[in-house]
Structures are given as C-alpha cells and as structure tokens.
C-alpha cells in the first residue's frame, strides 16, 4: 500500500481531487487530499497574511500528525512550491515527488519570479483590480475545461488566491534532493504559459520520470482516469 498526499493548486481545494481519490483508494492505497489554508473547506480562514510558509506548514503538519511515511507527494501547479519545501524539511518521509503541471521552484525565488514577466504582470494587475490581496480564479475555459458541468463545478468551488503565496520566496537547504524519485506530468492541450520550460527540463533529465497528458491544466477534473493511472505508476 502506498500513501498519497495530493496538494491542489491556486484557487482550488481538496475537493478538486474527488474524481481521482476513489480510483487510488480502490487500488488499495491510502489517500489524503487536504485543503490549504484559505481555500476549499478552509476558505473561511482566508486573510491577506496567508503565504507560502503557512501552506508549507499545512502539509508538513498533516504528515507529522498522521505519522505518514513512504509518501507519494503530488503537487499541482503552485503546489510544486509547497511539496518541494515540505520534502526539504522532511526528506525521509517522502518516497516520490510528483509535479502535476507544476512549478519547479528555484531557491530564493517566488512563483512570480519564475513565471514569465508578462504573466507576473497580469497576476499583479488582477489582484489590484480585485481586493488588493487575492487573485480571482481563472475562468474554466482558460484552464481547458470545456464540459459545462465541470465548468459549473469549478466556478462554484474556486476561491481567490492570497497573493502572498505567490510573492513569498522559497527557502531551500537542498535536502529535497535526497527524495529518490521525481516525476513531471505535463498537461499540453492547452498548455499553461510558463510551465513549458520546466516540463522540457524534466523531459530531458534522466533523473526525472516524465509524462504528458493531452488536456488542460486541471487533469484531475478533465482526465481523472488517465491521471490516476499515472499516479498509480508512481509508487
């Protein structure tokens, strides 16, 4: 039995894995899909001070208090930052890091530092036009979600992302490199700008496992069976 910890990306929550978790559990595995502070079932905790460090604590504390080991730690999108920092803090607990169309961080840099400058400027403009501290959710169509029911589900549950999570530089000691396995899953149709270079680096590095799914940025919604099969291969 493997232990999966699934960490969602911006605007989402643990709810977004609802089509994937039953498939992993049916195969006999233990699965955790927490919501990060300020999102999902913890949206009532949103405040301007929510940052990357708090989200790292969310996942590290889950692992510590549940005494989880041998973890397949999956991070979607922004959560590539979170899972890397968690692995840097407790590398002995993690068996496999899986970056699901996710940011692969650089020490000392934030999400806004590693994405293209034009995209970072759009993010800041979106926050300024909103309430000054939250980035409004992207429309489903921009994420490659064409099914009307899926789009309504996403719209009903997505919440604004506290921008400090994207402004906060990550601090890494390099201990995450001790995790024995790393996988990058690239969602190529439509691709999200800013992740192509990270995907290409992983695809060309023999120390990484690499997969592509011909779907949009949220495959846990659009192609859950294909995603689940890839994750089952990450044990």
Which one from 10, 77, 110, 188 is the annotated catalytic residue? 77
Q: Is 188 a catalytic residue?
A: no
| Region class of 145: left (phi > 0), else alpha (psi between -120 and 50), else beta | beta
What's the 3-state SS for 77-124? CCHHHHHHHHHHHCHHHEEEEEEECCCCCCCCCCHHHHCCHHHHHHHH
The contacts found for 138-146 with CB under 8 angstroms, 24 or more apart, are: 138/11, 143/192, 143/216, 143/217, 143/218, 144/187, 144/189, 144/190, 144/215, 144/216, 144/217, 144/218, 144/222, 145/216, 145/218, 145/221, 145/222
Q: Taking a C-beta distance cutoff of 8 angstroms, is the pair 6, 29 a contact? A: no
What residues are labeled active site? 77
């Amino acid at each position: 039995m493997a232990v999966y910890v699934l960490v969602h990306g911006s605007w989402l929550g643990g709810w977004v894995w609802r089509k994937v978790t039953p498939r992993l559990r049916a195969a006999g595995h233990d699965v955790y899909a927490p919501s990060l502070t300020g999102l999902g079932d913890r949206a009532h905790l949103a405040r301007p001070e929510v940052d990357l460090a708090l989200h790292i604590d969310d996942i590290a504390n889950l692992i510590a208090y549940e005494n989880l080991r041998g973890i397949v730690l999956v991070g979607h999108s922004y959560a590539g930052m979170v899972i890397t920092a968690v692995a840097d803090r407790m590398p002995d607990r993690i068996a496999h890091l899986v970056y699901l169309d996710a940011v692969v961080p650089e020490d000392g840099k934030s999400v806004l530092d590693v994405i293209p400058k034009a995209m970072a400027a759009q993010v800041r403009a979106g926050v300024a036009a909103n309430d000054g501290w939250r980035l409004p959710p992207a429309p489903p169509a921009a994420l490659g979600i064409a099914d009307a029911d899926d789009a309504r589900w996403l719209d009903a549950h997505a919440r604004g992302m506290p921008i400090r999570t994207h402004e906060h530089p990550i601090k890494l000691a390099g201990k995450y490199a001790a995790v024995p396995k790393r996988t990058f899953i690239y969602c190529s149709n439509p691709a999200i700008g800013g992740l192509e270079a990270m995907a290409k680096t992983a695809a060309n590095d023999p120390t990484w496992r690499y997969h592509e799914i011909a779907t949009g940025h949220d495959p846990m919604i659009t192609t859950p069976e294909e995603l689940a099969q890839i994750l089952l291969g990450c044990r």
